[in-house]
């Protein structure tokens, strides 16, 4: 999925493009470590996941496209 947004002071640009790839994985063990760009994460069940509760705009469209592709 792709998303573009205003992001001041990033490499001298006022807008940045973000490209994300969704894939299925299995978490085996260990500690989740977030980068400074992220404040939280959540484990959700794909069976009852409601992306509109977590995403908006281009991110919401991208997540919905990914979920349709998985079906």
Question: Tell me, what's the pLDDT at 66?
Answer: 83
Q: Would residue 38 count as lying in a domain? A: no
Express each pLDDT in 11-66 by its tens digit: 666 777 777 777 778 889 999 999 887 888 888 888 888 999 988 887 888 888 88
69: confidence class by pLDDT, cuts 50, 70, 90: confident
What is the rounded end-to-end Cα distance, in angstroms, of the chain? 17
Q: Would residue 61 count as lying in a domain? A: yes
Q: Would residue 31 count as lying in a domain? A: no
Q: Would residue 57 count as lying in a domain? A: yes
Question: Tell me, what's the pLDDT at 52?
Answer: 94
Structural domain count, the chain: 1
Question: Tell me, what's the pLDDT at 23?
Answer: 72
Query: Could you give the CA distance from residue 59 to residue 18 in angstroms, rounded to a whole number?
Result: 10
Tokens representing 60? 């919401």
Q: Would residue 58 count as lying in a domain? A: yes
Backbone angles phi, psi at 67, to 5 degrees: -65, -35
> Which residues constitute the domain of residue 65?
45-71
Residue 11 vs residues 7, 8, 26, 37, 53: alpha-carbon distances, Å: 10, 9, 34, 15, 31
pTM: 0.60
Q: Would residue 11 count as lying in a domain? A: no
Task: Report the SS3 class of residue 60.
Answer: helix
Q: Would residue 56 count as lying in a domain? A: yes
């Amino acid at each position: 999925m792709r998303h573009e947004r205003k992001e001041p002071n990033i490499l001298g640009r006022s807008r940045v493009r973000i490209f994300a790839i969704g894939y299925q994985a299995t978490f085996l063990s260990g500690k989740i470590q977030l980068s400074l760009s992220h404040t939280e994460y959540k484990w959700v069940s794909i069976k009852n996941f409601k992306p509109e509760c977590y995403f908006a705009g281009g991110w919401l469209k991208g997540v919905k496209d990914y979920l349709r592709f998985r079906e």
